[in-house]
């Protein structure tokens, strides 16, 4: 009887999980579809491919790595909820880990999965309440701020990217620094001077998808170093 309940629970999880994901996908495509097919704002092929290169180059690896690496902790239900609501690494996983640790549950067990579902639902509700309050009151707060303070927001994105750069750069070994500088200079030169030696359409894609191009080179660089560092060190006998 217990196994029958588990099987029914899993079937319900996959049914409602797939249904909500499909509904969210349709809703996400409503506005782009309206702008494209009703209003006639059709982006060019170059813009679409450049955007795809930029996004896929930056987070394409995450599309494969995150579902595989997060699934053992999240479980089927937690995976559906987390990937629908987002903020998995910095919010959903810590919530599940805290709940399972507080209840002294073994990760991967059915009890841990059920506890994780309640923790995830609670975090999503709290997240929506906080975001709702920020959205409602955000514009009022922004309007009340002086212009000198608002102008400082222009440095928010560079500050975030700079902090991320420092965090990742601090893990690079000294012997790899020169190689990274040379690679960065080569990528910048390739993006800047690509119109001189490449067809116009290809050069446009590289220029418009510059973030993706840089990310692809960074991934290749990281994999190369990982493969090199992972090789056994030869010792003289």
Is there a single domain that holds both residue 171 and residue 135? no
Supply the pLDDT for residue 45. Answer: 76
Distance CA 237, CA 232 (A): 15
User: Does residue 128 sit in the same domain as residue 172?
Assistant: no
Indicate whether 220 and 179 sit together in one domain: yes
- pLDDT tens by residue, 7-53: 888 888 899 999 999 999 999 999 989 998 888 888 877 777 777 77
Residues 123 and 179 in one domain: no
Q: Shortest CA distance to 85 belongs to which of 56, 113, 125, 116?
A: 125
pLDDT at 74 over 70: yes
Cα(44)–Cα(208) distance, integer angstroms: 12
Range of the domain at 223: 154-227
Do 111 and 159 fall into the same domain?
A: no
Where do the DSSP E strands lie in the chain?
none
Q: Residues 191-234: pLDDT tens digits?
A: 676 667 666 666 666 665 555 556 566 666 666 665 555 554 44
Rounded to whole angstroms, the Cα distance separating 30 from 37 reads 10
Least confident segment among 65-69, 136-140, 202-206: 202-206
Are the CB atoms for 33 and 92 separated by under 8 Å?
Answer: no
- Report residue 236's pLDDT band, with 50, 70 and 90 as the boundaries: very low
Q: What is the pLDDT of residue 103?
A: 84
- Domain assignment present for residue 18? The answer is no
In a domain, residue 236? The reply is: no
Lowest mean pLDDT among 8-22, 58-72, 140-154, 191-205: 191-205
Give 1's pLDDT tier (boundaries 50, 70, 90).
very low
The answer to whether position 37 is within a domain reads no
For residues 140 and 161, membership in a common domain is answered with no
- Among 145, 173, 207, residue at a domain's last position: 145
Count structural domains, the chain: 2
Q: Of 100, 115, 145, which closes a domain? A: 145
Share the mean pLDDT of the chain. Answer: 76
pLDDT in tens, 86-110: 888 778 888 888 888 888 887 777 7
Residue 203 falls within a domain, yes or no? yes
Asked if residue 205 and residue 174 are part of one domain, the reply reads yes
State what percent of residues in the chain have pLDDT above 90: 7
Same domain, 169 and 112: no
Residues 197, 141, single domain; the answer is no
Question: What pLDDT sits at residue 227?
Answer: 58
Q: Is 132 exposed, middle or buried (0-12, 13-18, 19+ CB in 10 A)?
A: exposed
What gap in Å lies between CA 188 and CA 210, rounded to an integer?
Answer: 9
- Domain co-membership, 141 together with 165: no
Distance separating alpha carbons of residues 199 and 229, to the nearest angstrom: 38
Residue 149: the pLDDT is 82
């Amino acid at each position: 009887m217990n196994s029958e309940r588990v099987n029914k629970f899993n079937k319900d999880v996959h049914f409602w999980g797939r249904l909500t994901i499909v509904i969210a996908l349709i809703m996400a495509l409503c506005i782009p579809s309206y702008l494209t097919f009703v209003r006639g704002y059709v982006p060019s092929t170059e813009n679409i491919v450049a955007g795809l290169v930029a996004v896929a180059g930056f987070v394409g690896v995450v599309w494969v790595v995150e579902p595989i690496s997060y699934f053992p902790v999240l479980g089927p239900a937690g995976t559906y909820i987390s990937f629908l609501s987002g903020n998995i690494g910095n919010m959903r996983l810590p919530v599940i880990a805290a709940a399972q640790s507080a209840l002294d549950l073994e990760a991967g067990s059915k009890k841990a999965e059920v506890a994780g579902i309640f923790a995830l639902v609670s975090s999503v509700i709290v997240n929506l309440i906080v975001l709702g309050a920020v959205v409602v009151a955000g514009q009022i707060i922004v309007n009340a701020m002086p212009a000198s303070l608002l102008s400082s927001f222009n440095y928010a994105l560079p500050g975030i990217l700079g902090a991320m750069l420092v965090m990742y750069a601090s893990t690079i070994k000294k012997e790899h620094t020169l190689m990274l500088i040379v690679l960065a200079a080569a990528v910048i030169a390739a993006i800047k001077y690509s119109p001189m030696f490449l067809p116009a359409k290809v050069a446009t894609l590289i220029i418009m998808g510059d973030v993706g191009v840089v990310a692809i080179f960074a991934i290749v660089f990281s994999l190369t170093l990982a493969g090199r560092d992972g090789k056994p060190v030869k010792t003289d006998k």
